[in-house]
Structure 1
Amino acid sequence: MARYRCDYPMRWSDMDAYGHVNNVQYLRFFEDARIEAFAAHQAGEGDKSLLDAGILVVRHEIEYLKPLKWRPEPVHIDLWITELKGARIDVGYEVYDAHEGAERVRYAVAESTLVIFDLVSERPKRIGQADLERLDALRGEPVPFRVRRSRSE
């Protein structure tokens, strides 16, 4: 499975009163990783990135696995594309530590649904063929959530 790895430096302000990274800060982690990954894969038409053209977040799902305590060393965030369809991009994430010779420690897995959006007409816009090809290099498996409730529950 293709993944983009972002080594994310934590900020002191990410920590909450309990001494671990606050749940809300994970959304900032994911946003920063997306911006870096899309720039690295030159996703966007011509000289514009997908972010310049218009992209909206329409859904987040996060499963917290273990508290992440602040430290000066960066945490790793893997990002991959779980679905590319029409105007929609589903992005998977894993927040973890991995040290040679040690077991991988996973803090969270998540998925965001993004929609390419025409800011002038204020309507969703299909992903262009060039972007589909660039982003396809990051395509991977569905996010391995432990618990997935059905929509009818």
Structure 2
Amino acid sequence: MARHLYRCPLRWSDMDAFGHVNNVVFLRYLEEARIDFMFRLAPGDGSPSFSGGSVVARHQIDYLRPLVHRHEPVLVESWVTKISAASLTIAYEIKDEEGAEEIYVRASTLVVPYNLQTQRPRRISAEEKSFLTKYLAEPGEDAGTRAA
């Protein structure tokens, strides 16, 4: 299984009064990584995949340790843990670098493809499913481990 890697810069405004990245800001980091991941397919090749829109139906986030503000970016690793007919679940780890053992956040997001014209959820297309399958975790693999 492949993981999508996104290097996310930390901003001065991300910091709380204690010098840590504020808990709410982590959702923005997840959003930036998710947008980079889901819209890789569409730009440049004329593909309509994911360009019609999507909505977040649920976030789940575990804060494992504080992230002290610094100038170096964090790495957001993303992969798919579930694909159904009309939704997908993306898992994430936020850490210092690929392969790092210390993780700041583990999270997941339930995403529903959405038709902006009809204002209704839609099904995942065959093209989208093909793309997502490249990032699909192996059966039995939990969110915090890699396939061996």
TM-based fold match above 0.5 = yes
Matches within 5 A, 1:76-115: 76-98=75-97, 104-115=101-112
Partner deviation per Cα, 1:55-90 (whole Å, 9 max, x = no partner) = 000100000000001100111110001111011010
Whole-angstrom distance in 2 between the partners of 1:125 and 1:112: 17
Q: Structure 1 runs of 4+ off > 6 angstroms?
A: none
8 A Cα contact 1:98 1:105, kept in partner: no
Partner deviation per Cα, 1:97-130 (whole Å, 9 max, x = no partner) = 2388xx6211010000010111222221100001
Amino acid across the alignment from 2:34: R
Change (3 A) 1:131 1:43: farther
8 A Cα contact 1:43 1:134, kept in partner: no
Whole-angstrom distance in 2 between the partners of 1:66 and 1:18: 14
Matched, 1:143 2:140: no
For 1:33, the equivalent position in structure 2 comes to 33
Whole-angstrom distance in 1 between the partners of 2:47 and 2:126: 15
For 2:120, the equivalent position in structure 1 comes to 123
Whole-angstrom distance in 1 between the partners of 2:91 and 2:98: 22
8 A Cα contact 1:58 1:114, kept in partner: yes
Change (3 A) 1:85 1:46: farther
Change (3 A) 1:88 1:97: same
Amino acid across the alignment from 1:18: F
Whole-angstrom distance in 2 between the partners of 1:99 and 1:91: 18
- Structure 1 alignment gaps of length 5 or more: 145-153
Aligned-pair identity in percent equals 39
Whole-angstrom distance in 2 between the partners of 1:95 and 1:25: 12
For 1:133, the equivalent position in structure 2 comes to 130
Q: TM-score, normalised by structure 1?
A: 0.83
Q: TM-score, normalised by structure 2?
A: 0.86
Aligned length in residues: 140
- Structure 2 alignment gaps of length 5 or more: none
Whole-angstrom distance in 2 between the partners of 1:23 and 1:4: 22
Whole-angstrom distance in 1 between the partners of 2:130 and 2:42: 9
